[in-house]
Amino acid sequence: MRVLDEPKKTQTRLELALEYITGEIARGNLKAGDKLPNEKELAEQLGISRTPIREAMKTLSVAGLIDIRHGHGSYVREGPGLPSTPLTLFQLYLQDSTPEMLMELRDIFDRNCTEIAAQRRTESDLAKMRECIDRLKALTQQPGASLDDMLKADLDFHRAVYEASGNILIVTIAEFVLNMVAPWVKKSLDVSGRVRAVELHEQMYGSIRDRTVGQKNRVSVEANMQHFKQSLDTATSKAG
């Protein structure tokens, strides 16, 4: 089964509360300085208990989106230091994401970015990718090599792919995603074998080098995502 073919996961009550409140802010229904409905009102409106509402409020307060004024209620933050709402929401959702959600996001990014990179890459881009793979390969052959160094080589390869797209928006957003998924990539390298990681990166590199597009290009990305998923499943089962 492909990563994106898996059934949609049930939304938690905390996710429901966060989605509703941040959605109201993003749509402009709640503006800077506006008072939010109280916990009881939100709980009744969403059909959930007060506990996830309270947790959502704390999360949004830490993220800098709302101010909790004890005895007075919660307000959408205003004044100097107000974070950029869309970017803050994106960071908030990333921080609250499960490994599976991050994997799906990476899958979408890598499928499209690898194809764009194949069309736009330069010899300099290829050289950067080649260096990352060679560095990762050399580390896998060193007994006791640092897992952190391997992780850096792995992520640097993907950064080089994103940079080859020539789109600064892709590079910027992808950096957020890479930072959040890094711990799970590290688990993947530790659990499922470093040699396999090198092979998968070689496949992606080959597609970009040969300017392969369409389904043939996406085969290498799909193999990479399946390996990542299997690694997560293995790590989870061992932890259990």
pLDDT score of 1: 46
The encoded tokens of residue 32 equal: 């800077």
The confidence band for 51, taking pLDDT boundaries of 50, 70 and 90, is very high
Is the Cβ–Cβ distance between 169 and 153 less than 8 Å? no
Amino acid at 214: G
Rounded Cα gap, residues 25 and 34, in angstroms: 10
CB environment 99-132: b (16+ within 10 A), e (fewer): beebbbbbbebbbebbbbbbeebeeebbebbeeb
pLDDT score of 95: 65
Amino acid at 12: T
- 196 CB burial (10 A radius; 0-12, 13-18, 19+): middle
Select from 167, 157, 149, 173 the least CA-distant residue to 220. 157
133-190 pLDDT, tens digit per residue, is 999 999 998 988 899 999 999 999 999 999 999 998 888 888 878 887 888 888 878 8
Is the Cβ–Cβ distance between 64 and 39 less than 8 Å? no
Rounded Cα gap, residues 135 and 160, in angstroms: 14
Rounded Cα gap, residues 82 and 4, in angstroms: 36
pLDDT score of 42: 95
How many residues make up the chain in this entry?
Answer: 240
Rounded Cα gap, residues 191 and 151, in angstroms: 13
Rounded Cα gap, residues 10 and 7, in angstroms: 9
Rounded Cα gap, residues 90 and 105, in angstroms: 12
Rounded Cα gap, residues 4 and 168, in angstroms: 26
What average pLDDT is seen over the chain?
Answer: 82
Map out the domains of the chain with their CATH numbers. Answer: 13-81 (1.10.10.10), 97-238 (1.20.120.530)
Rounded Cα gap, residues 174 and 113, in angstroms: 10
Check whether 125 has a pLDDT greater than 90: yes
pLDDT score of 4: 44
SS3 for 68?
strand
